[in-house]
Structure 1
Amino acid sequence: MAAATDGTVPALRVAVLGCGVVGTEVVRLLTTQADDLAARVGAPLELIGIAVRDLEVERDPAVDRSLLTTDAEDLVTRADIVVELIGGIEPARSLLLRAIASGAAAVTANKALLAADGPTLYSAADAAGVDLYFEAAVAGAIPLVRPVRESLTGDRIQRVLGIVNGTTNYVLDEMATRGLELDQAVKQAQELGYAEADPTADVEGFDAAAKAAILASLAFHTRVSLADVHREGITGITADDVSSAERTGHVIKLLAIAERTDGGVIARVHPALVPLSHPLAGVRGAFNAVFIEAEAAGELMFYGRGAGGAPTASAVLGDLVSAGRHRVHGGLGPSESSYAALPVLPISGALTRYQVRLDVADRPGVLSQVAAVFAEHGVSIEGVRQTQDPARSVRAGEHPEYVAWLIISTHTAPEEALAATVRAVSTLDVVHRITSVLRVEGA
């Protein structure tokens, strides 16, 4: 960007799309930290407009109402940098593509769009020669995208294991520390503003799956979409599961896992038992953490607030400064790296461990029958714990005998073999019920 004749650098025009919790914080920081931001960028940042759906909605005093507009399409064509905080697929995608085509750099926190159609945005940005930044799309304020995309680009990442949804981590933590049932913990999260009125995206794992797709794409230089991610939520987790986990030295976390295997890349999201000795086990409340295993760097963990207006706005402003400096001084940030183009595999090819809880008949020979099924499927048993609890006996008339409670932990085996083993065990006459099946990760 050329300087004026008096040596000053023209202001960079910034457009913000969306004025919710995060958008409001971004606007606040652009206003209150204007001088510092200008010094870091090398030019003033001029907020030229804030696109909203309804001009009459009451806003935070930090928002200058004269900047509000419902004409987002016109706004993006007048900006040097567009910050998209609308969320969802449309109109966010169309507006970002319009902005990029007009020569604007793009900053977005939209994990759903990036997971569903990131390559379209990457290609458009490359063609236009502009930046596309998205640090805030994964794990809020935690600086994660930049280290994976830049700092570790000379290394070979083998596995990414992350707690990337603060709502579900809060819910599971409350279940573990206070003995709440899932619905009670979710209601509490809603009252505190951690969960939306409709918590489906969080508790069913959709939010975490979108982030897993982005992380897998970055870590393994391969295009991984949301549709490629195996997804299970936490709606099946009970207080009994949580207390059982504690007794076996584990805690339950909803994990986003992206890993490189001999055959390709696997991305999955599901609840898992994490040993108390693992760093992720200590992540409490609504915090996020991502654990990376790399060949040269070894084990790395990134920890911090993964959601909220101020933390997310911090990540957005970091991207905004980077994009602004490139506009002033020249250069571009990293573009999409998909050169590896590894096959994206289903979860059946993953190597993991299971912990299976069973209600079985309390009589001699039962354990040997169950163990035989595991052996038939090539799954090695690491350990067995057995308790007898008459209070847990099945309804009278179905099975007159008391029921023993077995906890079987396996060694690492292919997911396909483990799942087949559980199906086969469930058909045994001596097995009254499979209480739970959870994978064990981080061991």
Structure 2
Amino acid sequence: MMQIRTIDLTRGSIMKALLLFAVPLFISNLFQQLYNTADTMIVGNVLGDQSLAAIGSTSAVFELIIGFANGVGSGFGIVIACLWGANDREKLKKAVASSLILSLMLSAVLMIVSFVALKPLLILLKTPADILEEAYGYISIICMAVAITMLYNLGAALLRAIGDSITPLIVLLIASVLNIALDFLFMTRFSMGIAGAAVATVIAQGVCCIFCFWFILRRAKVLVPSRKDFSFDSALCRELLEQGFSMGFMLSIVSLGTVALQSSINVLGTQIIAAHTTARKLFGLLTMPFATVAAAIATFTSQNKGAEQYDRIRQGVYQANMLTTIYSIVVTILIFLSAPFLVHVMSGSSDPFILQTGSMYMRINSPFFIVLGVLLNLRNALQGMGRKIIPLFSSIIELVGKVIFASLLIPFMGYLGVCFCEPFVWSCMALQLWFSFYRSEEIRAVK
């Protein structure tokens, strides 16, 4: 049986290794974002601005729960990438077995919490009454299927941990086409409203999950544990949970700040919710290369930590920062030249207020994309080095910053305060992460 092709990130040209690993990962993230964005575009064009606002009002809750699930999977992948770099195949299989069990247990907890707290949270966030039920119908379907999301992200993280970013891409291509087709089918033919968009997303994630683990079973035998590997190892489980919770809580704390921000946005009215939803979807698409390079750096750093090559880690982070800086300059020029057109294409709206408001958000944020790229690279590099507390602390900085803006500044500045919130927070976080990375014992020891 032909084996999958993996990339050894511990030797050879750093830039070549990063690009070979990151390009398939970027295309995967692009299609992931596209099938999430398809919900917004189809809802906006087929169902109108009010349904678009209903999806937008749940975005912070979506990021809170799904972000935690994704973070845990990525954290498990970091541990496994380190074991792969250290060439410890026996412990690697035990780590995979423990990751599967822990993922299922955490999924059950998340589903119970979501069932109990979801609607009260939407009310707490001051979701407008005219879109509350529609919003709840959408997000409840997503959250009840969180186990599928967590297992898919774990499967993809396992493959990327051993240097395979091609297989998750193939899987996601299939699921993306399916998601878009089901969006149209459920919302137009079956008139399911935005609940149809949620069902389409869940089915697409399920297909991703099935295909990922099928590939692992057939072509990545090194990741397939035997029965004896499912024995309890307290030290290994603690290591997995520490790294998984660090990544999961980091993303959740970031999302808690977004929840606080969302509550302030929701009281500004349906039009602003719709404009902000569109701008955030554009933001997600245009900043995707940052997340891609940062994810590549996490795996790169983990493998090289296992191989104890800290000079290579430092060089890798520097080259990653150069990549994201060049991209930031290009995309900022694009936004300043064509923001209204991009907002119109994304939302399907011709409302001048929505076009102007969405454009304002993008034009204020884009000059700070350089800062965002650097902080994501540094955060993921520190995670890959096992420095779990520092990235978590940076997330707390983000939470505090967003709470301050939401409670003190937005009531006076309005939506302009929302636009300036994240650039300010990014700048504070980047300074803290820069100091922490370059003052770390391993990096300082590099000559």
> Structure 2-normalised TM-score?
0.26
More strand by share: 1
More helix by share: 2
